[in-house]
Amino acid sequence: MKLSLASGSTSKSVCLFISQSDGNGLTGLAYNTSGLTCYYVRLGSAAVSVTLATQTVTGAYGSGGFVEIDSTNMPGVYRFDIPNAALVSGAETVIIMLRGAANMVPVVMEIQLNMPVLLANVSHTIVSLTVNNPSGNAVTLYGGGSNGHGFYTQGSGGGEGLRAQGGSTDGHGAMFLAGGNGNGLYCYGLSGSGHGAHFQGGVAGTGAGLRLSASVDGVGLHVTGGSTGGHGAQVEGGSSGNTYGIYVKGHGTRDGITSTGGDEGGHGIIGHGGLNGGAGILGEGGLNDGPGVRGMGHGSASGYHGSGGLTGNGFLGTGGTQGGNGASYSALGGDGKGLNLAGAGTGEALSFALEESRTFQQALRVLCAVFGGKSEVDTQAGTITFFGANDTKIRLVVSISSGQRISVDTWDGD
């Protein structure tokens, strides 16, 4: 008699046939029948005695349980509860033998542990599957052919196609390794609002919902949006606290995120600010001169393009406590600009408040009039008038008192 069970299986009961010397079923045996013994041996170990125990046909599992099923209708058929210790991991096979009762032909059961299952060119519907292998891979799947999937799963309704939970220490819920040009994990959402993949970090601690590591020149994550506006990835932060949709940290001089825009105007990263002050992209610089966000232009494309939403800022930069810049822009050469600002319509290219509620644009216009515009000196009135670049707008009028004190009479930066 041969069986196949997963290594580490517990509470397993089997039905076995015990014959007598003439080949017919032997009836009347019990757990305490005179001379009846049971032993098992795991490959590479010594034989182990099994203490047979009383049992009923429909009773709960009990190690060594032994009972006759039906002496009239199924003569010679018995139930036996396999000891859990016989099935633990560490051996490929286990042999169980019952023998010794009068007129009894010995019964031998060979159990294959961790027997691999190969499914090729077949389709199976599995209602429920639990695989447990404490010492190795529980399941190993290989896709055949050029486009064959090693594993394909699809959820229904609100259920997940695949849900993986990592261990309490460092165990990964799922680990995907790409080979050659193949993807370690390829996810796509179907019609409606279904997600190609949904990842949630640990409730407490530092467990990550998704952790990606590239090897040498490989890409840790490659995401492509849909052809009609679908997002390659959509990430939302938590509803409270300092929870981020994406938290990226550089290592040493390496960037946490490197993004390259497309050749035809596509942005490497585009971030839309939320309605209530949420930043489309929030980058915090590292301790050793690492930028929070670094944008490098390619050709005529911008390294960074920020658009404000409603009252939100397209870009908000906050300097560090030890001299770090909130924003730093450097031109590499040619006609490229470290920072290029252009307003659209009546919108201002750059706006921030100065003293007395005056904007930066107003201050800049007045400053340009002082250093680059025309001026008139009225010695009798003791005033100096500064005009704008077109010589028609009075930007600033200052008075000089007898004590050489200067006061502003007129300020017009509009």
- Domains along the sequence of the chain with CATH: 2-113 (2.60.40), 357-411 (no CATH)
**Mean predicted confidence (pLDDT) in 295-314:** 57
Q: Cβ atoms within 10 A of the Cβ of 411, count?
A: 16
Return the pLDDT at 315: 60
Confidence check: pLDDT of 253 > 70: no
Which has more pLDDT, 136 or 5?
5
Q: pLDDT tens-digit profile of 108-118?
A: 999 998 654 55
Highest mean pLDDT, choosing among 99-103, 172-176, 193-197: 99-103
What is the reported pLDDT for 145? 59
Report the pLDDT value the prediction gives residue 245, as an integer from 0 to 100: 66
What is the per-residue pLDDT across 15-48, written as a single tens digit (0 to 9) for each? 999 999 999 999 999 999 999 999 999 988 999 9
pLDDT at 69: 97
3-state SS, one letter per residue, for the chain: CEEEECCCCCCCEEEEECEECCCCECCCCCCCCCCCEEEEEECCCCCEECCCEECCCCCCCCCCEEEEEECCCEEEEEEEECCHHHHCCCCCEEEEEEECCCCECCEEEEEEECCCCCCCCCCCCCCCCCCCCCCCCCCCCCCCCCCCCCCCCCCCCCCCCCCCCCCCCCCCCCCCCCCCCCCCCCCCCCCCCCCCCCCCCCCCCCCCCCCCCCCCCCCCCCCCCCCCCCCCCCCCCCCCCCCCCCCCCCECCECCCCCCCCCCCCCCCCCCCCCCCCCCCCCCCCCCCCCCCCCCCECCECCCCCCCCCCCCCCCCCCCCCCCCCCCCCCCCCCCCCCCCCCCCCCCCCCCECHHHCEHHHHHHHHHHHHHCCEEEECCCCEEEEECCCCCCEEEEEEECCCCCEEEEEECCC
Q: What is the pLDDT of residues 47-97, one digit of tens each?
A: 999 999 999 999 999 999 999 999 999 999 999 999 999 999 889 899 999
Please determine, for residue 234, whether its predicted confidence score (pLDDT) is greater than 50: yes
